[in-house]
Each structure stands twice: as structure tokens, then as C-alpha cells.
A and B are shown apart, each in its own frame.
Chain A
């Protein structure tokens, strides 16, 4: 089964293959010391998330990210991976060679080289953590709680919508409860439970992962 989710809106097939290879180099399959394995990068939906995220970026930044992909894909021509065929493009390397490439970049003595790698790592990590499964497994999923209706909610419609989209009236107003700390072991935000729709899926569908469920 292909690890590239379809259809893609921003990434070309080649760019998607690069991100899939990079995501699984950063987050491979396997068992960690502390129990249940985390999903791999592609299982966590990194490619789909990046595709949806790129769509939100200004054109200039999108172009810079495309350049970053090309740069990394072919950097092995100049800075080869260890082992046989180390000068092949990144996506053509063996999985352990890809990991070795990452380690060489992150441990470089040159700040600029580390920064370039940090940019790629930033894309992969933030997309990996968009996965509800990853957040649940690491114990970092957002908690559920009710959102009160405040005066401002009578003034502004959701972004891009007309004023008649304002759902709230004066009688709906409530106040944030005082002295009501969340329970860290309390229920998770519905989007992050096992049953909830995954953010990755919504990102693919181009919808907002709105966090404003009101209780």
C-alpha cells in the first residue's frame, strides 16, 4: 500500500515521496523503551498534514519549502550518506542511511547547516504532533472543556463569514468559571479521542480544525 495519501493539493508526487521518506526517517516503526510503539511518520499522516499546512502559507514561504525539499533530496551529492550508494538522492537511500543523513545534519558544527535541518525537522515534528494518535500516546492531547460565550462573540462572525453567521445572542452570555482547574486526567477534547475525527483527515479535507466546541 502506498504511504502517499491522495489526493494532494499542494505537494507533487515527488515532494510527497520526499516527505514520506523523511517522516519515516524521523519517526520510524519500532518499539521504544517505554512501551507501546508510536505510529510511524507516514502512519501519523505527516504527508497529508504538510499538504494541508502548505496550503495555508503565503506563496513565498511555500516556494522556500519547495526549495528546502529539493535541497535535501540532492544534498547527498555533496554530503553523501555513509555506506554503499551514499550519493543517491535522499528518497533512493536505504532507511538507515536516511537516518544517518539526518544525524549528520543535526550534529553538524556549522550553525547554518543545523538551522537548515531544524527547518525540515520543524515541518516533520509539528506535523507528526498533529496526529491525535501521537498526542494520545504521548499523553499530550488537549483536554475537553466548555467554552463560555462572551460579549465579543456577539460582535464577530467566524473568519470569512458574514455577520448573520453570528450564532450567539445576549441571553447566551456566560462567564468563564472561576476556580475551575482542569483535571489532567479528565476527558480529552472530542477531536482527539479515538472515536473523534482526526485532525489529519480534516486537514486533508481543507476544513478548519475548529477548537470551539461549546459546552
Chain B
């Protein structure tokens, strides 16, 4: 295990498999390969964070754990999108929701991407193994807190499906701090779960190293090279080169395509590298209740409703640092301050849409490895998200909210009754009216049975090379309908086992 302070000069190493990126997908792949007896090197650009490094202040935390200080935006439809830079990748700061991709969606993937072995029954053994490893289980009522249980009550009153979120968490205290790092050490983020297990199994982990190029000749990848990168500033340090019999890229949806393009447009005979970018855009609604909710207590995202999954959206509870949540509150001056005081009686719930028609692409920004992300929000998809906002409004009033703050431009700041909220049904918000953000992204190195139409095959091996694999969520041929991490890990596990059997 190496950290920034360990690098005093150029680094050279040799192994069976080099894995780039220690997010959920890369960490699972590294562990499975090491556990299968392969000599593994895991490379991560970000540093490991200890609880002493966590910042409870949302702005400072994002500046340190997220790419571009947490200020990354898409162009086209301007939308913030967040990717982590840390040992453990997104798992350090995410809400730990682990959802299995539903059968109907995997059937759609199979049809659209000519897949033959990616049905739910194919993935379930991998989901099961990961669930057992990470202790994935439904969030217990005792740590839900009132803001999550009100969501349940509202759904029940409406007769809509609802369930506690299954999460990779053991011993949650309900601090609602998943976004800034779990100081209860309950969230089984990769840095405290799969990465230590990979190390125990013999993997060598280098943190604070930025891979800049995949070495390849003909149909074979030979390793990777790059530079040490100082934590937070990214200041370049000594160079490194890792030679390997196989290369596994798990740098994330926005980074892996840039690495491939920079390495001589590798694995891109299909011209699909960096294309087909899809997001789950999300928006939130705040509801104010007559009694205190004390939202400071409760699992970050403890409850969900899959009732409208086939219609293209999912509903969830949400918490984040108050400064991040309050950004969406309307008004200024004393009126705004009153709304801040109301937050003690408030819950915030969000919706994410599958967005089958919205597409984008990622390209390099100048000569850097920073992405220029372009994405267009299709009006049909925006309408779906608008319907989800109306659904949230109904849950709030069914749960007894006295008013909601829909956060939709052109509507009153507050809607005081279900009747008043019907405006959301009559006049569904348009893309331009919504305040949207996204942390779920897919598609830029998509898996496809046809080498002319996709980058990797069903084992996530690049069609164009014999020993290059891509295992991050960029391989999804489309939206997984639910939160993506668990499916990414399941696919990565399957891929790692296939690779381990080959070398």
C-alpha cells in the first residue's frame, strides 16, 4: 500500500493484472483477481481518506473529495454532475444504496445490445456474493429517522410500493452523513471493505497516481504509465510505469473513455468510446410538516419507492449537508432565513429518471484528462421527471405535510395543499423549469454483442484487444433503472472471474 508520501522517485512494477481506479467496480475486480491468486496492482489517483480527513462542511468536503472541487457541469443542458477522486471512488461519498437491476430492464439491455448472458439469473450469483461480502441489507427502522418514515407512511397511504433501501452498511447510526464520509465507519465503502481485502489477498495498492496512458501494441495491452499526483492539487510528481499481462480500466464513466482516446484511440474501432453518455438526472422536493422532523437524524437515503420504475422514475428519501440542501430554497433575505428555520420541520425527497432518450458524449478538455461533458435533456425525459415531482408532492401531502417547496421555476415557491400542487399534474414542468443534478452516469464504453456497435463484450473485454477490460459503469448499455453501483460491481465481478480464468 503506497500513499503520496511514499514516492521519492520513479516507480516501476510488473504484475499479472493492473486495475486502474478503486471505485466500486475497480475494487471488486482487484479483490476477485487477487483472491483468485493473480498478482494484482490497483492504481488510484485520489488519496485514502481517514475520518480525520472528513469535513462535515459540505462545500469543503466536496472541494476535497470530488473532481473539479465538486463544480463539474455538463454543457448542452447545464447540470452539475459529481464524480469522486478518492480511494474507494464514489463509494466514499455515496449513499450506499444497493439496488439490483430489474429483470425488465436487463431484458431491454439484452435486446438493444445483443446480449445473451446478462439476464437477472446470470447476475444474481454475483449480486449475492457481493451482498454477503458487504453486508448489504435493508435499512432497519431504528435508524430511519422521521424524515424517512414519513415517506413510507405517505406511500402506504397512497397504496404505492415502498421499501427500506438496501445498503452496503453495517451498524448505521443514522447520522445522515454519507455524503461527507461515514465517520461511524458503518458504510462499507471500498476503502474499508474490498480494498483492504484485496491487500490481504496480496494486491499492491498505489494511491495518488494518475494513469495517463495505456501501453498497447496491436491487439495487446502491455500496462499503463503516468505520474504521481499530489492529493487535492494534482501537482505532478515522479513518473510510474506498470507492466502487466492484462489491463483492467475502472476509472469511471467520464475518465475511462479519455484514457482510451489518449492512448492512440484504443479499443475504438466501433467509434463508440465516449459516446452514448446517459445520466439519471434527479431533482428534489422539500416538504414542511406541522411537527418537528429533526432531519439531522436518519439514514441518508433510507426509503424508496419502485412503484413507477417501469414508467421511468424512482422515488427516494434524501439528506445531505444542510448547506447543500438549502441551495435549492427560494427567496432571499428574511424570507429565506424563515425557510432555513423551517428545515427542522422538513423532509427532502428526490426522484431520478431513467431517461432513455437523452444522450451525450465525453471528450477531453484541451490536453488535460478533464472531461468536456455534453448532454441534452430530451423533452420526453424531462416530462417523466416532471411526473416524478408530482408523485413526490402526492406522497408529501399523504404523509401530512402542510406545504411543499417544489423547486420548479414558474410555480409559486410554496404549494400549501394537494389541490394547489395539482398544477404540477396539469402543467408538467419542462426541462428548463427544473433544478437538476446527476451522480449516476453510464454508456461511454458500452457493452454490446456486436463489435461494430460497442466497446466491450459481455465479459467486459474490449472487442479490439485480447487483454484489455473495462469494468466501470460506462459499460452499461443504458440506464439500470435503479442506482447503478451494485450492478456495476456485479458486472465487474463476473468480468474479473472470467479474466482470472484466462490468465
Chain A residues close to B by CB (< 8 Å): 25-28, 30-35, 37-38, 49, 52-53, 56-58, 60-61, 64, 99, 102-103, 106, 109, 111-112, 114-115, 118, 121-123, 125-130, 134-135, 137-143, 145, 147-153, 155-163, 175-185, 189, 191, 199, 203, 208-212, 214
Contacts and interface: CB of A to CB of B under 8 A. Distances in A.
Contacts of B192: 150-152
A177 B191 CA distance: 20
B319 to A, nearest CB: 10
Contact of A156 (B1, B186, B340): B1
Interface in B33-68: 47-60, 63-64, 68
Given A61-B69, A106-B330, A158-B53, A212 B322 contact: no
A159 B336 contact: no
Q: Which residue, of B54, B294, B336, has the highest number of chain A Cβ atoms within 10 A? A: B336
A176 B433 CA distance: 43
A152 B171 contact: no
A28 B234 contact: no
Contact of A161 (B5, B78, B173, B334): B5
Nearest to B199: A155
Interface in B157-207: 170-171, 173-175, 177, 180-181, 183-186, 191-192, 195-196, 199
A177 B338 CA distance: 37
B323 A180 contact: no
Nearest to A27: B337
Given A189-B56, A212-B50, A140 B183 contact: no
Interface residues of B, number: 80
B293 to A, nearest CB: 9
A181 B174 CA distance: 6
Given A52-B60, A102-B333, A214-B51, 19 more contacts: A27-B333, A32-B338, A32-B341, A49-B59, A53-B60, A103-B332, A109-B410, A111-B432, A123-B59, A139-B294, A140-B344, A142-B175, A148-B184, A152-B48, A152-B191, A156-B49, A157-B5, A176-B186, A183-B297
B308 interface: no
Given A138-B341, A141-B296, A210 B54 contact: yes
Binding site of A, secondary structure by majority: helix, strand, loop or mixed?
loop
Given A145-B184, A163-B5, A191 B56 contact: yes
B9 to A, nearest CB: 16
Contacts of B323: 125-130
A69 to B, nearest CB: 15
B184 A26 contact: no
B196 A102 contact: no
A159 B171 contact: no
B175 A145 contact: yes
A151 B6 CA distance: 20
